[in-house]
Structure 1
Amino acid sequence: MSVKTSKKEVEMDKLQNSVQRIILMCSLAAALRYWLMLSKYQSVIANHVEVSTPMNSWKRVSEGLYLLSRNIDPYSGDLLHETPLSLFFYKVLLNVFQQQIHWMFITFDLATGILLFATARKYMSQLYKEENANKSTFSKDALQYLLKPTDLIKSPFHVLLAFLFNPFTLFNCVGYSTTVFHNLFLSLLLFSMVLGIPIIGSVSLALSASMSFYPSILIIPISLYHINIFKSVTKAIIDIIIFIVSVSLITIFCSHYAKDFGYLKNVYGCILTVPDLQPNIGLFWYFFTEMFDHFRDLFIYSFQINATLLYLVPLSIKFRKQPFLLTLALLFIITVFKSYPCVGDVGFVLSLLPCFVHLLNYCQQGFLVGVIFLIASSLAPILWYLWIYCNSANANFYFGVTLAFAIAQIFLLTDVLFAQVKREFILEHGKERKVNGEEGILCLE
């Protein structure tokens, strides 16, 4: 009886310590965000093109809500690119928070971090149990590379730290970017996915896809997660059905709230055809600034297919047994190749990397990627200032930085995916890589 009591006490102490650490980190993150929001730097951060794009600018949302309050169609011009459902959502939130915008953004950002913490904890626990169950099939000299109990404790906290104190997500929140709300729905999607709750996951995915249609491809890894992890084809089918029904209901609500389907051109038409060529950290703006009009449609189709369908099938086939890693890969691809990306998208994906701590031993480009991230992030605002305000640089300088930033993300993604392949090989065949008595080299073909 005393042994059981002591175990319960130890578990309670661990839980209490975890809660205290979460509260401490969230409090520090909230204080830092609040201080920056009330400082003179808030307007500087909010006006930077790395943070604010035509698709996530709170200034445009505020103007759209004002026009709506005056019974003026906010979609009559080229001002607003948010859906009517998003406008209704923001209107309700402003009433709930009594126009305290800073607390609204801080609350949703912290909620996203906590959801990612819970997601990482559940995912790491599932991965640990799966590896222990299959331990007998692994090579004996590779057992040292399996997950350890300490990883289950450290990794979720590293995810929370990576999200709350990442400069990208920090600036995203301070700059009043509506990507904060998009990230919340994505985190809710991931959380419901690892818990195996199809209703919440599909509705969250539908809400994310309504803001930007790119996340709709995540229905594939969600379905694969239920099939491979929970061994339930039924849940996968329910996912797809609920997603389709949710998208239909959202479309009906939007058309009713906006009184017609004119919003489609401003929201999804803007994402698809890229009419606003304001520079950002993506790749679209530069190419279509220099593009001849008669080539524009061809490259629009090429770029959009590249951001959605091109890598979906091969990655889904290769990593069908690792659906969470597949989700990370697709989120990375969306972030790199979407038409209007921002640093908030990048910060969200980067915060998920501690979930793959077991792949770090096999990654080889971490230093290179880190240096490129640091240099590109530092040079981007400098070259923007030299180009726009000093007229001593041009678009090529700024695009060079955004291109390097995209390359760093691609290098990081390929490094993580190749690390998974190498780890699978070592767990199956062991550390020895000799072929005919000589040291072999593992390479992709």
Structure 2
Amino acid sequence: MPAEKSEKYVENRPEQRCYKTGTILLMYTVGASIRYWLIFSRYQSIIGNHIEVSTPLNSWKRVSEGLYLQSKGINPYEGDLLHEAPVTMLLYRTLTQSLKLPVEITFLIFDIGTAVLLYFIARRYMFQLFVQQEESKEEYSEDSKEFLLAGPDFLNSPVFVAAAFLFNPYMVFNCVGLSTTVFHNFFLALFLCSMLYGSILLSTVSLAFCTMMSLSKIRAFVTVGVFILVMVSLKYISTVLSNGDAFIKNVYGFILTVPDLQPNIGLFWYFFTEMFDHFRDLFICSFQINATILYLIPLSIKFRNDPFLLTTAVLFLISVFKSYPCLGDVGFVLSLLPCFIHLFNYSQQGFLVGVIFLITTALGPILWHLWIYSNSANANFYFGVTLAFAIAQIFLVTDILFAYLKREFCLKNGKDRKIDGKDALLILE
């Protein structure tokens, strides 16, 4: 079925036109109300001060102090206080001072805006899967009909994605704790949405903002060219705003060299606390290569036919291996999982991963309190929890990728997993 006809077919389906709009609006209203109540409650300061939510990179307290120093004509990048790019500081100043929006309401608006974008991201992705399925039916095995996506899958997935974001405790805490990851997630969602809808300019601009903050060949070259142009422009604007390039060391140098070893849910802090200083440069390079380019090329080659799945996998790996991760990074990627509802039947680690997430999420604050306040534990206890949390994320992303390969194999070869008459063993390489 041609893409134009299939799109018209999807849009004209009765259940697509009248799908419980009131229920969706109620879901967004409840999600916003929970955030609003917690932000203006006595729990806000408790949540905002937790290291799982607030890091040196996304702390709103640091941003507030930086804005105050700028208002007094003091360069906030001269010390070790601020690690936000000048362009994003301009955004924060515009929102809070020029537009005079209350800080709490600003965070709430951007967080709900992200949830809205995720709904359309999932809807567009499911539409693309429908088009791909219709165009490839002739290549599928005759007994693979049960593996095909059905109507409820296309309709429910966007709602599940929005719900997974709105009612995900990680995302609720991220918003209530006034973590600037809220803004990063908004531009990241804007990038994913514009990417799926084929907007080169909007996708590259939003990706450039994400980078500043923490498909033909011609089209690919144009995309890369526009991205480089936008990045150079933002770099120039940042240099003008900060009256120099001192911000580079405080923003990007801070991320790459990891000088602040304050505990967080990542893997860097404990390792570099225990390491001898003369090995630091070697392992900094090793860790950062592992966090950025090590998996990018092989995954891009293997999953080039599904760019959205590839992007999700890369985001998962970034949330595991970045220098200063927080719950907002993990929660955002977890919210995208309902987009792959068609892969759940092929996954094997779902129960194990879910249990580890629950246990580590509960134990993290407990062991932190025992270590810091009660003096009845030590750093090994807390790092053990963060290590298990990272392992759960790795199990999850590998399980999803393997499930994708198994489903593709079943669609083309049917239920009978045999090659040349012999039983086949599917291996992820």
TM-score scaled by length of structure 2: 0.95
Structure-2 separation of matches of 1:125 and 1:378: 37
Q: Which moved more, 1:328-337 or 1:10-19?
A: 10-19
2:43 aligned to which of 35, 41, 44? 41
Aligned residue number for residue 142 of structure 2? 140
Q: Which moved more, 1:26-35 or 1:90-99?
A: 90-99
> For 1:221-232, what aligned pairs fall within 5 Å after superposition?
227=215, 232=216
Matching of residue 335 in structure 1 with residue 337 in structure 2 = no
CA deviation map 1:316-350 (0-9, x unaligned): 11111111110011000100000000000000000
Aligned residue number for residue 378 of structure 1? 362
Shift of 1:61: 0.2
Amino acid at match of 1:182: H
Aligned residue number for residue 19 of structure 1? 21
Kept in 1: contact 2:60–2:180 (CA 8 A): yes
1:209 aligned to which of 191, 208, 211? 211
Shift of 1:443: 2.1
2:259 is paired with a residue whose SS is: coil
Matching of residue 293 in structure 1 with residue 277 in structure 2 = yes
Taking a change above 3 Å as real, the CA distance of residues 8 and 108 of structure 1, as seen in their structure-2 partners, is closer
Kept in 2: contact 1:97–1:103 (CA 8 A): no
CA deviation map 1:200-221 (0-9, x unaligned): 0000010000012xxxxxxxxx
> For 1:274-423, what aligned pairs fall within 5 Å after superposition?
274-423=258-407
Amino acid at match of 1:299: F
Kept in 2: contact 1:193–1:201 (CA 8 A): yes
1:81 is paired with a residue whose SS is: coil
Shift of 1:142: 1.0
Structure-2 separation of matches of 1:311 and 1:34: 39
Taking a change above 3 Å as real, the CA distance of residues 62 and 135 of structure 1, as seen in their structure-2 partners, is same
Kept in 1: contact 2:16–2:155 (CA 8 A): no
Taking a change above 3 Å as real, the CA distance of residues 302 and 366 of structure 1, as seen in their structure-2 partners, is same
Matching of residue 244 in structure 1 with residue 228 in structure 2 = yes
Kept in 1: contact 2:356–2:389 (CA 8 A): yes
Structure-2 separation of matches of 1:10 and 1:198: 28
Aligned residue number for residue 55 of structure 1? 57
Q: Which moved more, 1:281-290 or 1:145-154?
A: 145-154
Kept in 2: contact 1:97–1:104 (CA 8 A): no
Kept in 2: contact 1:282–1:341 (CA 8 A): yes
Shift of 1:24: 1.1
2:153 aligned to which of 151, 154, 157? 151
Kept in 2: contact 1:332–1:413 (CA 8 A): yes
Shift of 1:119: 0.8
> For 1:187-202, what aligned pairs fall within 5 Å after superposition?
187-202=189-204
Kept in 1: contact 2:10–2:16 (CA 8 A): no
Shift of 1:437: 6.4
Structure-2 separation of matches of 1:9 and 1:285: 50
Aligned residue number for residue 268 of structure 1? 252
Amino acid at match of 1:110: I
Structure-2 separation of matches of 1:33 and 1:254: 32
Kept in 1: contact 2:121–2:192 (CA 8 A): yes
Structure 1: state its 5+ residue gaps.
1-6, 213-226
Structure-2 separation of matches of 1:61 and 1:105: 13
Kept in 2: contact 1:278–1:285 (CA 8 A): yes
| Aligned-residue CA RMSD (Å) | 1.8
Structure-2 separation of matches of 1:286 and 1:417: 29
CA deviation map 1:111-137 (0-9, x unaligned): 001101001101101111111111011
Count of matched residue positions in the alignment of Structure 1 and Structure 2: 421
Kept in 2: contact 1:189–1:201 (CA 8 A): yes
Taking a change above 3 Å as real, the CA distance of residues 305 and 9 of structure 1, as seen in their structure-2 partners, is closer
Structure-2 separation of matches of 1:196 and 1:364: 33
Amino acid at match of 1:345: D
| Identity percentage of aligned residues | 59
Aligned residue number for residue 253 of structure 1? 237
1:25 is paired with a residue whose SS is: helix
Aligned residue number for residue 176 of structure 1? 178
Amino acid at match of 1:378: A
1:141 is paired with a residue whose SS is: coil
Shift of 1:108: 0.3
Aligned residue number for residue 6 of structure 2? none
Structure-2 separation of matches of 1:156 and 1:271: 34
Structure-1 separation of matches of 2:10 and 2:38: 42
Structure-2 separation of matches of 1:93 and 1:9: 37
TM-score scaled by length of structure 1: 0.92
Amino acid at match of 2:377: A
Structure-2 separation of matches of 1:236 and 1:263: 31
Aligned residue number for residue 169 of structure 2? 167
Kept in 2: contact 1:82–1:267 (CA 8 A): yes
Taking a change above 3 Å as real, the CA distance of residues 32 and 137 of structure 1, as seen in their structure-2 partners, is same
Shift of 1:22: 2.8
